[in-house]
Structure 1
């Protein structure tokens, strides 16, 4: 069924024509959204005044677009996704990846985290979420404006969905993402909550590198353990870290099937086999069989073995912290 008609500037009443001219002056064009809103001068005027006031607020253009993308994805509003993906990446300075992360709602950015909480709880945020926003550096002015931006974008998304506004931007469809619901961690990483927890974990990571094992081997171990445990945050961070350490994409892509590839040395294969066994302790009566241990011991001395085992243990710790609380890949 057809939605609301588009009011063309040349056919508009003097009042509506002035409002459409104001849209042109503000945005540099007259989008179909404004033409559909022009069916009611009151609606178009409210939209313009709301948008103009928020643009003069304290949030950056990039953060305003992040909120708009998050809300549009939540509302399955393809018009909003298309418009704000274009404006966000072409005008506000977001990268394509940042735009996608904003849509997923999995960014650790405090503005997005607070906006996502508002959406998911319909405004009924918890004391912890409010406290986290303030600890993340958001002022009361920022918090007020984030609420306003969420409401403003809900208004525009509902309007474009209900009015069936034709998309006049490069199309971005809400189903293009693997998941279309807002992704949000259940809580902060527990090691970030308990005082004094994170420092010794990082000290362990530092000690792991003192055993003489090549950094790339340790990164492969970290990545494979994280894959076995299904920890998306650690897989994402591990692949990036390994790449920084000099790993190639070919080897990183093949870690999950390392037995069937020729990319890895015998020493690396021994470390990966040990990593899998020491992670899957419940899979067999003899958790780490002698042949796996002896193969590893044939390539590494005791400090090297200690380094690999510690990397396996620390990675399993982080995997369990992240997977249990559903930490979001790319948020760290």
Structure 2
């Protein structure tokens, strides 16, 4: 089961809103009356959707192998990314998670620190870069990457005041208040899956604008499955009327507390993200072949980068 970013109840997070033109505001964890899990599952089933009453399991070796094969069938080639434990440990030491950020995702730090390490490694940041951490919330990534690389770094989130305020960029990630080609490197860690309806497509169309030619965004984990699916906690999503992709199977994770987590199939990622931007972005995909050897709690198995042509 994936663990996604938690926000305070009632934060309106348009980065992960249903769509740029939705008439109703997005509330990450709506302050609405909840009901029991079984009732939520039943209500989803009454809508005629394909509904499963457990969380998505995309880390089992046989599922991972199937995903890699399905990717090949549609032209998505997963390159092996083998994590060197000593380099990962050196990154964590240099980043000073235990000293500076001991309470950041306490109990889940192996996963988060590995996500950050993979982004840092794949992006190859240096002092000439302008880096933006998208849907950053309270992440230490901008400060860490600035300190380690010398890059100019920003955090972006709808919870910040609109516009550019110091090193914060406030506003909708699908329509950022920055000029064309402003960003050389960017990252989304445990964020893309929250973008509901067509906002994920809109995000990458916006990245094709704001990335400098040759600039790269890294996404980890890449939540991919052997079928098009969305994970939800129906005690949150059903009362809020959360929209789900019409062709996706809905997986209900009891006690998860989150409204929406999209898992792409290789085919749906091709349709939703690659094809709309194929003349502007080049994608590379990675299989994190030894992630669980770093820590048994780690659930990231895939990542990808998109580079502006």
Q: Please give the range of the TM-score, normalised by the shorter of the 2 chains.
A: under 0.3
Of structures 1 and 2, the one scoring higher in RCO (CA 8 A, sep 6+) is 2
* Larger helix share, 1 or 2: 1
TM-score normalised to structure 1 length: 0.23
Given the two structures, how large is their TM-score scaled by the length of structure 2? 0.25
Rg bigger for which structure? 1
